[in-house]
Structure 1
């Protein structure tokens, strides 16, 4: 395990109104994410209904970018908070060679753990578990347009893991560790938030298990970059399967 985890910074370092800046960044990013989702829902509700012919439907591809705006809030808050009150070194986002190795191993384990968990839950939830592919919902709106599907895959495999991990295994992890929360508890808490963030009740258990595996990369290496790699590796096979099927 990285020695940085064995000697966390003093609790007094980087405090904002009594809390570590990472916790403040997490609350801000998490809140902004849900607020932006509410705003987009209110603005877009009813805008794409009432079309008699599928050919009359507007191209929904550009909505991919708009749909990703809430996700950007997850990563923006930690970056701004680190710049204002903390340090980018605490986030440890840029992966090193060891981070890549650890991340790929944990990402592979996350895939296996998620598959086994979904397999056990299949008799309970049935076809509801089809939402396991992170691109499925986006693909329904863009049809078989390879450009938009490729953009969706790029977002899910590269950008979403970065923003989510900067918030969870970056800011939240650093904030909890600074307040001397045990590492096993930090791992479990960040995995629970990871599962809740995706908003898929039928897959909560599977997402929690995958969150543990992805968080293990952060625990082993002591750096967020390894969990970014693990998250990207976890998202890559479903994206490739969807692109191959199109």
Structure 2
């Protein structure tokens, strides 16, 4: 066979890969990678707790980055899927926020903060404040005296985590559901449920669901992940600032 007759590598036809929209595969791949790597990181940290002893404290800074590593896979799978089978991050997701994304995102981020505050306030009256620990202080409390690592932690909370989570939930999953003509309001609720479950905080599940709906509204109104990214970052900004206030 002549070289001129060689066929190019097969690509997605109408967005389908192995009979499913590539967003489904990207979502499942990102989710599976996240949980598998989380187990691996937990094993490393646990073994470190046993073996480090008195030398554990200096290692707390790098553990901030280690704790974020599984989150990277949440965004990496949708990015790879878009580059391989889609049209690229900007075309598939509208990832770079524009002026309208900023306005809508900031408004929805404010509503997300309000929703989380109100729901948590109600649940505290029902279950008591002892049931509602601050997850950020549990993870990052050990670096309160190190400004450099606090800055790294704040950047992860405000920029890193929103970017990876939005690419997975309101990027790959949202696009896949849209491909199958799932009504937008159903998509909004489903992605909010996934968003809430992803955080693994049962006591804050209802609050996270409300916040997820508010953040997802930015995606629904604009049709772009850039808007929900801004909303998510705005929602995470006050808790990140509290890390400095409590240090």
Q: TM-score, structure 2 length as denominator? A: 0.89
Q: Distance in 2 between matches of 1:29 and 1:46?
A: 26
In structure 2, distance between residues paired with 1:21 and 1:185: 20
Instruction: Give 1:229's aligned residue.
Output: 230
Deviation at 1:52, TM superposition (A): 6.9
Q: Which has the higher contact order (CA 8 A, sep 6+)?
A: 1
Matched, 1:189 2:182: no
- Aligned-pair distance for 1:87? 1.8
Rg: which structure is higher?
2
- Whether the 8 Å contact between 2:23 and 2:172 is mirrored in structure 1 is yes
Flag structure 2 segments of 5+ consecutive residues without an equivalent.
1-12
Say what the alpha-carbon RMSD is for the aligned residues.
Answer: 1.8
For the Cα contact (< 8 Å) 2:49–2:56, is it kept in 1?
Answer: no
SS in 1 for 2:96: coil
Q: Any residues of structure 2 matched to 1:1-246 within 5 Å, and which?
A: 13-49=14-50, 57-88=57-88, 89-126=91-128, 127-131=130-134, 135-246=136-247
Query: Could you say if the C-alpha distance between residues 44 and 52 of structure 1 is closer, same or farther in structure 2, counting changes exceeding 3 Å?
Result: closer
Q: How far apart, in 2, do the equivalents of 1:44 and 1:51 lie? A: 10
Residue 59 of structure 1 contacts residue 142 of structure 1 at CA under 8 Å; is this kept in 2? no
The residue aligned with 1:8 is: none
SS where residue 59 of structure 1 aligns? helix
Shift in alpha-carbon separation, 1:237–1:57, aligned structure 2, 3 A: closer
Q: C-alpha deviations, 1:192-219, integer Å up to 9, x for none?
A: 0000000000000000000000000000
C-alpha distance 128-17 of structure 1, shift in aligned 2 (>3 A): same
Contact map agreement 2:78 2:172 (CA 8 A) in 1: yes
CA–CA distance in 2 between the matches of 1:77 and 1:56?
33
Paired residues, what number?
233
Instruction: Identify if the C-alpha distance between structure 1 residues 49 and 162 changes in structure 2 by more than 3 Å, giving closer, same or farther.
Output: same
**Bigger CA drift: 109-118 or 120-129?**
120-129
How far residue 50 of structure 1 moved from its aligned partner, in angstroms, is 7.1
1:58 alignment partner, SS class: helix
Shift of 1:239: 0.9
Question: Distance in 2 between the 1:33 and 1:185 partners?
Answer: 25
Instruction: Say whether the 8 Å CA contact 1:125–1:202 is kept in structure 2.
Output: no
Residue 137 of structure 1 and its aligned partner are, at CA, apart by: 2.1
Measured after TM superposition, the shift of residue 56 of structure 1 is 6.5
Give 5+ residue unaligned stretches, structure 1.
1-11
